[in-house]
Structure 1
């Protein structure tokens, strides 16, 4: 297995999420979108009153999907910028990278968590936008790190009746034409000079995490085309960063594999405590309500030490957020699009880091 470096700093900016949160008090290191605009982004000044405009026309928008900008830093090395997923459509990712004044030309890699359009839908528009912004450096192309098993189509079939298909994921040819370089990976691997780990297939070891109910895939085998049940979504991958003196920060965009399976795999691979869990936990809806109590019990009681922070986003659902807040208190953070998180490493605190245990 590739070596995962311990980093001195991690900065995460949420570029696409279902929720927008402007007013809740957040823990240290978390910065709300509005504050960033008014203090860091040189907002337009009202000529009448002399104070900055709250320029709502150019702030982030919410969308059903996920995208996070990940910046890793190791002392004495250049930082690396990675985009984890790209949201559901061609518009939200572009609006929001402009709103957050993201240096898109510095983003070296897109990690696609899995082939679902609410995560891949903004990839082509982002790559085209990046190509436009990087014209001065024709050699600067962005890697698209994807699982090789791209589906023809995926749909949803509650009660075994297909009621709709998701928009098509970008093809490898479209990614290349938009300015990307396709890399396909089935196995876990380190990227960003070893500061980010992208998982391979996630082992399914829990009894209650059983994939995405009603998920189907269009298959065409030997001339027979039909919808086939596909609840496991085996192309799903997570990403992790190891922060000095803190431990692992996990990005699980949808947790079709189950967030408990994700955490168990990361702990098994790295023997490091889990500092932060970020992303969609896929616990929304009545069909998945019975998974909430064992998930919360695992994160809050069975995993020792429990994560300092859990950020339930995207497809986590209101009931899961309420349950996690009841169990973790301020450790459950209501993150949303536009929020920035700074995690500073502590090399001197490394001697306090011990392997986690699972009861």
Structure 2
């Protein structure tokens, strides 16, 4: 398997970088595009990397946030025959309460009018012989949901987002499962455990943001408490061979995890190619 990071928050000056994520995944002759960032600049990076996005077997949107989906406006315009796999709830209105103010982070109205260009699913779905889309199980921990300060607008009320719109792209490889979950809003363990249970296979790699910078900061200024960092690291050590992460993980949280996990965790950055 080869993964090319088409766009991420960070990257060398020859590439466009933005708060968002887009990954090109190649597995046994098939090509999968996961997410499109927020602007469509991933298309320019693909050209710089000499990646032909005219050859894509499946396109997937991981969840209904602008920094993963809005870039698909340019993509759908360039490729009028394409359809995008996604959860059936991606077009609801999603908000964030970060920085002390509730603000809209859902998909753009321009993308919402293109719903006929999406293949929406409401259950786990195999998209071909290699890839399966697994919907994240709804987070029912109200205290955890309130801490995340992420919301869905329902009848003019802001209610905690349970992340029913989030899904994982999973491949069962000879080395074990490779799980792609772009933001991990529901929590790493909450995402991985149901997948391990359903597929009864070890996890070889987990790729995506860990959403660790948006929780309330403790007195040391870190995104998670030291105890939470330790619990996260212990879970990875026990159940996941490699983690490649960036985007919404947060620099401080990443460095604290790196101190514990060493080479078991690696960063994502625009233009990077990863071979598994």
Please classify the TM superposition score into its range, dividing by the shorter chain length: 0.7 to 0.9
Q: Give 1:1-359 correspondences, 5 Å limit.
A: 10-20=1-11, 59-73=14-28, 79-90=29-40, 92-131=41-80, 141-158=81-98, 162-166=101-105, 168-169=107-108, 171=111, 173-174=113-114, 176=116, 181-191=117-127, 193-202=128-137, 204=139, 210=145, 213-220=148-155, 226-244=156-174, 246-285=175-214, 287=216, 288-290=223-225, 291-300=228-237, 302-303=238-239, 307-343=240-276
Please state how far the C-alpha of 1:286 moved relative to its aligned partner: 5.2
- Flag structure 2 segments of 5+ consecutive residues without an equivalent: 217-222
Q: Which runs of 4+ in 1 moved over 3 A?
A: 167-173, 203-212
2:135/2:164 contact within 8 Å kept: no
Q: Is the 8 A contact 1:144 1:182 kept in 2?
A: yes
Distance 1:285 1:62 in 2: 20
- For 1:232 and 1:203, how far apart are their aligned partners in 2? 5
Alpha-carbon distance in 2 for matches of 1:112, 1:194: 19
On the 8 A contact 1:206/1:261 being kept in 2, the answer is no
Secondary structure, aligned partner of 1:149: coil
Per the TM alignment, residue 218 of structure 1 is displaced from its structure 2 partner at its CA by 2.7
Q: What root-mean-square deviation, in Å, do the aligned CA atoms of Structure 1 and Structure 2 show?
A: 2.5
Contact 2:89 / 2:164 at 8 angstroms: preserved in 1? no
For the residue of structure 2 that corresponds to 1:198, the secondary structure is: strand
Match of 1:142, SS? coil
Tell me how far apart the structure 1 counterparts of residues 102 and 130 of structure 2 sit (CA, whole Å): 41
- Which structure is larger by alpha-carbon Rg, 1 or 2? 1
Using a 3 Å threshold, how does the CA distance of structure 1 residues 168 and 310 change in structure 2: closer, same or farther?
A: closer
CA contact (8 A) 1:154 1:217 kept: yes
Q: Does the 8 Å contact 2:63/2:166 carry over to 1?
A: yes
SS in 2 for 1:295: helix
**1: distance between equivalents of 2:35 and 2:143?**
26
Residues 216, 227 of structure 1: 8 Å contact kept? no
Q: Is the 8 A contact 2:131 2:171 kept in 1?
A: yes
CA distance in 2, matches of 1:206, 1:340: 36
Q: CA–CA distance in 2 between the matches of 1:242 and 1:213?
A: 31
> For residues 6-49 of structure 1, what are the alpha-carbon distances to aligned partners after superposition, in whole Å with 9 as ceiling and x for unaligned?
xxxx11111111122x6xxxxxxxxxxxxxxxxxxxxxxxxxxx
Shift of 1:310: 0.9
Change (3 A) 1:211 1:329: farther
Q: 2:152·2:161 contact (CA, 8 Å) conserved in 1?
A: no
Q: Higher relative contact order at CA 8 Å, sep ≥6: structure 1 or structure 2?
A: 1
298 and 152 in structure 1: CA distance in 2 versus 1, 3 angstrom threshold: closer
- Inter-partner Cα distance in structure 2 for 1:155 and 1:206: 18
Secondary structure at the aligned position of 2:79 is classed as: helix
Shift of 1:143: 2.2
Distance 2:143 2:176 in 1: 27
Q: Does the aligned pair in 2 maintain the 1:156–1:214 contact within 8 Å?
A: yes
Tell me, in whole angstroms, the C-alpha distance in 2 between the residues paired with 1:211 and 1:339: 35
Structure 1 position 116, deviation (Å): 0.5
Deviation of the 1:338 alpha carbon: 0.8
Q: Which runs of 5+ in 1 are unaligned?
A: 1-9, 23-55, 74-78, 132-140, 221-225, 344-359
CA distance 1:171–1:212, shift in 2 (3 Å): farther
